[in-house]
Amino acid sequence: MSPHRPTRRDVLAHGAAALGAMTLAGCATTARRGGAAYPGYVDAHSHIWTPDTERFPLGPWITKAEMDPASFTAEQLLAVAEPAGVQRVVIIQHAPYYGDNNAYLLDCCKRYPGRFSVVAIVEERRNDLADHLRALKRQGVRGVRIGPTRYADRSMVADPMNWLNAPTMRRLWTLATDLDLVLCPLIGAEFLPTLEPMLADFPRTTIAIDHFGHAHADRPDELRALTQLARHERVHVKVSAFYKFGDRKPPYDDVAPLIHAVADAFGPRRMLWGSDCPYQLLNGNNYADAVALVESGLDFLDAPARDAILRDTAARLFFS
Protein backbone atom coordinates (compact mmCIF):
# COMPACT_ATOMS: atom_id res chain seq x y z
CA MET A 1 0.00 0.00 0.00
CA SER A 2 1.28 3.49 -0.73
CA PRO A 3 0.06 5.82 2.00
CA HIS A 4 0.62 9.07 0.10
CA ARG A 5 -2.88 10.34 0.69
CA PRO A 6 -2.99 12.38 3.93
CA THR A 7 -4.74 10.11 6.40
CA ARG A 8 -6.87 10.61 9.42
CA ARG A 9 -4.26 8.89 11.52
CA ASP A 10 -1.97 11.90 11.06
CA VAL A 11 -4.64 14.04 12.66
CA LEU A 12 -5.26 11.49 15.37
CA ALA A 13 -1.63 11.29 16.32
CA HIS A 14 -1.92 14.86 17.57
CA GLY A 15 -5.44 14.73 18.93
CA ALA A 16 -5.35 11.45 20.86
CA ALA A 17 -3.46 12.68 23.90
CA ALA A 18 -5.88 15.54 24.46
CA LEU A 19 -8.90 13.24 24.58
CA GLY A 20 -8.02 11.71 27.90
CA ALA A 21 -10.63 10.09 30.10
CA MET A 22 -14.26 10.97 29.71
CA THR A 23 -16.58 11.41 32.63
CA LEU A 24 -18.08 8.21 33.93
CA ALA A 25 -21.57 7.43 32.76
CA GLY A 26 -23.51 4.60 31.17
CA CYS A 27 -21.65 3.15 28.23
CA ALA A 28 -24.56 3.43 25.84
CA THR A 29 -25.07 7.10 26.57
CA THR A 30 -21.46 8.07 26.10
CA ALA A 31 -21.16 5.86 23.04
CA ARG A 32 -23.66 8.21 21.43
CA ARG A 33 -21.34 11.15 22.08
CA GLY A 34 -18.38 9.16 20.77
CA GLY A 35 -18.59 10.68 17.31
CA ALA A 36 -17.31 14.01 18.57
CA ALA A 37 -14.83 12.60 21.06
CA TYR A 38 -13.54 9.83 18.83
CA PRO A 39 -13.64 10.87 15.18
CA GLY A 40 -11.29 8.11 14.04
CA TYR A 41 -12.08 4.86 12.32
CA VAL A 42 -14.37 2.21 13.77
CA ASP A 43 -13.41 -1.47 13.80
CA ALA A 44 -16.77 -3.21 13.44
CA HIS A 45 -15.62 -6.63 14.57
CA SER A 46 -13.10 -7.73 17.17
CA HIS A 47 -13.00 -10.16 20.05
CA ILE A 48 -11.41 -9.69 23.44
CA TRP A 49 -10.81 -11.92 26.42
CA THR A 50 -8.98 -11.71 29.71
CA PRO A 51 -6.67 -14.06 31.62
CA ASP A 52 -8.55 -12.95 34.75
CA THR A 53 -10.69 -16.07 34.79
CA GLU A 54 -11.45 -15.58 38.48
CA ARG A 55 -13.49 -12.48 37.81
CA PHE A 56 -14.66 -13.52 34.34
CA PRO A 57 -15.04 -17.30 34.36
CA LEU A 58 -14.75 -19.35 31.20
CA GLY A 59 -17.47 -21.76 30.19
CA PRO A 60 -17.13 -25.21 31.75
CA TRP A 61 -16.22 -26.74 28.37
CA ILE A 62 -12.81 -25.03 28.18
CA THR A 63 -9.78 -24.52 30.39
CA LYS A 64 -7.61 -21.46 30.78
CA ALA A 65 -4.66 -23.33 29.23
CA GLU A 66 -6.63 -23.67 25.99
CA MET A 67 -7.09 -19.92 25.49
CA ASP A 68 -5.11 -18.89 22.42
CA PRO A 69 -3.70 -16.29 22.58
CA ALA A 70 -3.68 -16.52 26.37
CA SER A 71 -4.65 -12.87 26.66
CA PHE A 72 -6.28 -10.34 24.35
CA THR A 73 -7.75 -7.67 26.55
CA ALA A 74 -9.49 -4.39 25.73
CA GLU A 75 -6.19 -2.67 26.46
CA GLN A 76 -4.27 -4.91 24.05
CA LEU A 77 -6.89 -4.33 21.37
CA LEU A 78 -6.78 -0.54 21.69
CA ALA A 79 -2.98 -0.66 21.62
CA VAL A 80 -2.97 -2.28 18.17
CA ALA A 81 -5.97 -0.34 16.83
CA GLU A 82 -5.00 3.22 17.74
CA PRO A 83 -1.76 3.42 15.73
CA ALA A 84 -3.85 2.53 12.65
CA GLY A 85 -6.29 5.38 13.31
CA VAL A 86 -9.02 3.22 14.86
CA GLN A 87 -10.54 4.70 18.00
CA ARG A 88 -13.77 2.76 18.48
CA VAL A 89 -14.42 -0.95 18.27
CA VAL A 90 -17.50 -3.13 18.14
CA ILE A 91 -16.54 -6.00 20.41
CA ILE A 92 -18.11 -9.33 19.56
CA GLN A 93 -18.92 -11.96 22.14
CA HIS A 94 -16.62 -14.96 21.77
CA ALA A 95 -18.72 -18.08 22.21
CA PRO A 96 -15.99 -20.74 22.58
CA TYR A 97 -14.69 -19.08 25.76
CA TYR A 98 -17.69 -17.36 27.31
CA GLY A 99 -20.84 -18.80 25.73
CA ASP A 100 -23.66 -16.37 26.43
CA ASN A 101 -21.93 -14.80 29.46
CA ASN A 102 -21.21 -11.32 28.09
CA ALA A 103 -19.76 -9.97 31.36
CA TYR A 104 -16.23 -9.15 30.21
CA LEU A 105 -17.41 -7.19 27.18
CA LEU A 106 -19.93 -5.25 29.26
CA ASP A 107 -17.24 -4.47 31.84
CA CYS A 108 -14.89 -3.09 29.17
CA CYS A 109 -17.73 -1.07 27.66
CA LYS A 110 -18.34 0.52 31.05
CA ARG A 111 -14.66 1.18 31.76
CA TYR A 112 -14.01 2.87 28.40
CA PRO A 113 -17.06 5.03 27.71
CA GLY A 114 -17.55 5.78 24.06
CA ARG A 115 -14.86 3.40 22.84
CA PHE A 116 -16.77 0.15 22.61
CA SER A 117 -20.14 -1.10 21.44
CA VAL A 118 -21.08 -4.69 22.20
CA VAL A 119 -22.52 -7.50 20.10
CA ALA A 120 -23.75 -10.05 22.62
CA ILE A 121 -24.73 -13.68 22.47
CA VAL A 122 -28.05 -14.56 24.05
CA GLU A 123 -29.85 -17.82 24.61
CA GLU A 124 -32.95 -16.98 22.59
CA ARG A 125 -34.99 -19.72 24.24
CA ARG A 126 -34.86 -18.08 27.68
CA ASN A 127 -38.25 -17.07 29.06
CA ASP A 128 -37.14 -13.56 30.03
CA LEU A 129 -35.62 -12.77 26.64
CA ALA A 130 -37.27 -9.35 26.33
CA ASP A 131 -36.12 -8.15 29.77
CA HIS A 132 -32.69 -9.66 29.20
CA LEU A 133 -32.22 -7.81 25.90
CA ARG A 134 -33.42 -4.54 27.44
CA ALA A 135 -30.95 -4.92 30.31
CA LEU A 136 -28.12 -5.69 27.88
CA LYS A 137 -28.99 -2.65 25.78
CA ARG A 138 -28.80 -0.40 28.84
CA GLN A 139 -25.26 -1.69 29.34
CA GLY A 140 -24.07 -0.90 25.81
CA VAL A 141 -25.19 -3.86 23.71
CA ARG A 142 -26.19 -2.80 20.20
CA GLY A 143 -26.26 -6.14 18.44
CA VAL A 144 -26.77 -9.88 18.85
CA ARG A 145 -24.69 -12.60 17.24
CA ILE A 146 -26.67 -15.43 15.64
CA GLY A 147 -25.81 -18.57 13.71
CA PRO A 148 -26.59 -22.25 13.14
CA THR A 149 -23.99 -23.40 15.66
CA ARG A 150 -24.04 -24.21 19.34
CA TYR A 151 -22.26 -21.67 21.52
CA ALA A 152 -19.71 -23.84 23.19
CA ASP A 153 -18.07 -25.99 20.58
CA ARG A 154 -19.36 -24.39 17.35
CA SER A 155 -20.89 -27.71 16.30
CA MET A 156 -23.99 -27.39 14.15
CA VAL A 157 -27.45 -27.37 15.68
CA ALA A 158 -29.59 -30.45 15.03
CA ASP A 159 -31.17 -29.25 11.78
CA PRO A 160 -28.82 -26.49 10.61
CA MET A 161 -30.60 -25.55 7.37
CA ASN A 162 -33.70 -24.82 9.47
CA TRP A 163 -31.84 -22.88 12.16
CA LEU A 164 -34.07 -19.82 11.70
CA ASN A 165 -37.36 -21.71 11.63
CA ALA A 166 -38.02 -21.75 15.36
CA PRO A 167 -40.61 -19.65 17.22
CA THR A 168 -37.91 -18.49 19.64
CA MET A 169 -35.77 -17.26 16.75
CA ARG A 170 -38.71 -15.27 15.38
CA ARG A 171 -39.20 -13.78 18.84
CA LEU A 172 -35.54 -12.73 18.89
CA TRP A 173 -35.92 -11.04 15.49
CA THR A 174 -39.07 -9.25 16.65
CA LEU A 175 -37.42 -8.00 19.82
CA ALA A 176 -34.23 -7.00 18.00
CA THR A 177 -36.33 -4.94 15.61
CA ASP A 178 -38.26 -3.24 18.42
CA LEU A 179 -35.12 -2.53 20.45
CA ASP A 180 -33.09 -1.43 17.42
CA LEU A 181 -30.46 -4.14 17.89
CA VAL A 182 -28.39 -5.29 14.91
CA LEU A 183 -28.48 -9.03 14.22
CA CYS A 184 -25.08 -10.35 13.14
CA PRO A 185 -25.19 -13.74 11.41
CA LEU A 186 -21.96 -15.74 11.58
CA ILE A 187 -22.60 -18.22 8.80
CA GLY A 188 -20.91 -20.16 6.05
CA ALA A 189 -21.84 -19.22 2.49
CA GLU A 190 -24.08 -22.29 2.18
CA PHE A 191 -26.35 -20.70 4.80
CA LEU A 192 -26.79 -17.34 3.04
CA PRO A 193 -30.05 -18.48 1.34
CA THR A 194 -31.50 -19.48 4.72
CA LEU A 195 -31.72 -15.76 5.56
CA GLU A 196 -34.08 -14.99 2.68
CA PRO A 197 -37.45 -15.96 4.24
CA MET A 198 -36.66 -14.12 7.48
CA LEU A 199 -35.49 -11.00 5.65
CA ALA A 200 -38.77 -11.01 3.73
CA ASP A 201 -40.74 -11.34 6.97
CA PHE A 202 -38.64 -8.81 8.91
CA PRO A 203 -37.92 -5.92 6.52
CA ARG A 204 -37.24 -3.46 9.38
CA THR A 205 -34.62 -5.60 11.13
CA THR A 206 -31.05 -4.39 10.76
CA ILE A 207 -28.61 -7.12 9.75
CA ALA A 208 -24.81 -7.06 9.54
CA ILE A 209 -23.43 -10.27 8.04
CA ASP A 210 -20.03 -11.33 9.39
CA HIS A 211 -16.97 -11.72 7.15
CA PHE A 212 -18.60 -11.36 3.70
CA GLY A 213 -20.89 -14.26 4.62
CA HIS A 214 -17.82 -16.39 3.92
CA ALA A 215 -18.51 -16.00 0.19
CA HIS A 216 -15.43 -16.24 -1.98
CA ALA A 217 -14.85 -14.15 -5.10
CA ASP A 218 -13.82 -17.17 -7.15
CA ARG A 219 -17.01 -19.09 -6.35
CA PRO A 220 -19.79 -17.41 -8.34
CA ASP A 221 -22.64 -19.23 -6.60
CA GLU A 222 -21.45 -18.05 -3.20
CA LEU A 223 -20.95 -14.51 -4.42
CA ARG A 224 -24.42 -14.50 -5.97
CA ALA A 225 -25.97 -15.81 -2.75
CA LEU A 226 -24.41 -12.86 -0.90
CA THR A 227 -25.06 -10.09 -3.41
CA GLN A 228 -28.68 -11.20 -3.89
CA LEU A 229 -29.35 -10.23 -0.29
CA ALA A 230 -28.68 -6.60 -1.21
CA ARG A 231 -32.29 -6.23 -2.34
CA HIS A 232 -33.18 -6.25 1.35
CA GLU A 233 -32.42 -2.66 2.27
CA ARG A 234 -31.37 -3.21 5.87
CA VAL A 235 -28.80 -5.91 5.16
CA HIS A 236 -25.21 -4.78 5.68
CA VAL A 237 -21.99 -6.69 5.07
CA LYS A 238 -18.92 -6.76 7.27
CA VAL A 239 -15.86 -6.38 5.06
CA SER A 240 -13.80 -8.16 7.64
CA ALA A 241 -11.33 -10.88 8.58
CA PHE A 242 -9.04 -10.35 5.58
CA TYR A 243 -6.66 -12.96 6.97
CA LYS A 244 -9.07 -15.72 5.98
CA PHE A 245 -9.55 -14.72 2.32
CA GLY A 246 -7.38 -14.92 -0.78
CA ASP A 247 -3.82 -15.98 -0.08
CA ARG A 248 -4.40 -15.24 3.61
CA LYS A 249 -1.52 -12.83 3.96
CA PRO A 250 -0.80 -9.10 3.62
CA PRO A 251 -1.23 -6.84 1.73
CA TYR A 252 -4.65 -8.47 1.05
CA ASP A 253 -4.95 -6.89 -2.40
CA ASP A 254 -6.30 -10.21 -3.68
CA VAL A 255 -9.40 -9.56 -1.54
CA ALA A 256 -10.16 -6.58 -3.80
CA PRO A 257 -12.50 -8.45 -6.21
CA LEU A 258 -14.62 -9.63 -3.29
CA ILE A 259 -14.85 -6.13 -1.83
CA HIS A 260 -15.58 -4.73 -5.30
CA ALA A 261 -18.49 -7.14 -5.81
CA VAL A 262 -19.94 -6.27 -2.40
CA ALA A 263 -19.53 -2.55 -3.10
CA ASP A 264 -21.34 -2.88 -6.43
CA ALA A 265 -24.25 -4.73 -4.81
CA PHE A 266 -24.59 -3.02 -1.44
CA GLY A 267 -22.76 0.30 -1.73
CA PRO A 268 -20.35 1.63 0.90
CA ARG A 269 -23.15 2.86 3.17
CA ARG A 270 -23.98 -0.79 3.84
CA MET A 271 -20.40 -1.98 4.33
CA LEU A 272 -18.41 -2.06 7.57
CA TRP A 273 -14.72 -2.84 7.89
CA GLY A 274 -13.72 -5.15 10.74
CA SER A 275 -10.42 -6.68 11.79
CA ASP A 276 -11.59 -9.85 13.56
CA CYS A 277 -8.79 -9.48 16.06
CA PRO A 278 -6.98 -11.17 17.61
CA TYR A 279 -7.09 -13.55 14.64
CA GLN A 280 -6.03 -10.75 12.28
CA LEU A 281 -2.76 -10.59 14.26
CA LEU A 282 -1.75 -14.25 13.88
CA ASN A 283 0.27 -16.22 11.32
CA GLY A 284 2.08 -13.27 9.76
CA ASN A 285 -1.01 -11.07 9.49
CA ASN A 286 -1.32 -7.61 10.99
CA TYR A 287 -3.79 -4.84 11.77
CA ALA A 288 -2.26 -1.93 9.85
CA ASP A 289 -2.32 -3.66 6.46
CA ALA A 290 -5.99 -4.56 6.90
CA VAL A 291 -6.83 -0.88 7.49
CA ALA A 292 -4.51 0.27 4.71
CA LEU A 293 -6.25 -1.83 2.06
CA VAL A 294 -9.49 0.09 2.55
CA GLU A 295 -7.87 3.40 3.43
CA SER A 296 -5.69 3.68 0.36
CA GLY A 297 -5.57 0.43 -1.58
CA LEU A 298 -8.79 -0.06 -3.55
CA ASP A 299 -8.91 2.22 -6.58
CA PHE A 300 -12.66 1.70 -7.12
CA LEU A 301 -13.41 3.52 -3.84
CA ASP A 302 -13.50 7.31 -3.52
CA ALA A 303 -12.75 9.09 -0.24
CA PRO A 304 -16.36 9.17 1.06
CA ALA A 305 -16.69 5.43 0.33
CA ARG A 306 -13.52 4.69 2.28
CA ASP A 307 -14.83 6.76 5.21
CA ALA A 308 -18.17 4.95 5.09
CA ILE A 309 -16.56 1.51 5.23
CA LEU A 310 -13.94 2.44 7.81
CA ARG A 311 -16.15 4.55 10.07
CA ASP A 312 -19.52 5.95 9.13
CA THR A 313 -21.58 2.79 8.58
CA ALA A 314 -20.42 1.20 11.84
CA ALA A 315 -20.83 4.51 13.70
CA ARG A 316 -24.44 4.73 12.49
CA LEU A 317 -25.31 1.12 13.32
CA PHE A 318 -23.43 0.67 16.59
CA PHE A 319 -22.62 4.07 18.10
CA SER A 320 -25.59 6.32 17.30
CB 277, min distance to Zn ion, A: 8
Task: Tell me the C-alpha distance between 198 and 76, whole Å.
Answer: 38
Smaller CB separation from Zn ion, 276 or 295: 276
Contact 132, 80 (CB under 8 A): no
Give the residue nearest to Zn ion (CB).
Answer: 276
Smaller CB separation from Zn ion, 34 or 278: 278
H-helix or E-strand spanning residue 259: helix 256-266
CB 193, min distance to Zn ion, A: 22
Smaller CB separation from Zn ion, 9 or 142: 142
Amino acid at 165: N
Of residues 210 through 249, those in contact with Zn ion by CB under 5 A are none
Smaller CB separation from Zn ion, 48 or 310: 48
CB 40, min distance to Zn ion, A: 21
Task: Tell me the C-alpha distance between 42 and 262, whole Å.
Answer: 19
Residues in contact with Zn ion, counted by CB under 5 A, come to a total of 1
CB 30, min distance to Zn ion, A: 25
By CB under 5 A, residue 312 contacts Zn ion:
no
φ/ψ of 146, rounded to 5, equals -130, 160
CB 244, min distance to Zn ion, A: 10
Smaller CB separation from Zn ion, 276 or 289: 276
Of residues 258 through 297, those in contact with Zn ion by CB under 5 A are 276
Return the closest-CA partner of residue 168 out of 126, 198, 208: 126
Beta-strand runs (E) in 157-282 = 182-185, 207-209, 235-240, 271-274
Contact 298, 260 (CB under 8 A): yes
Q: Which positions touch Zn ion (CB under 5 A)?
A: 276
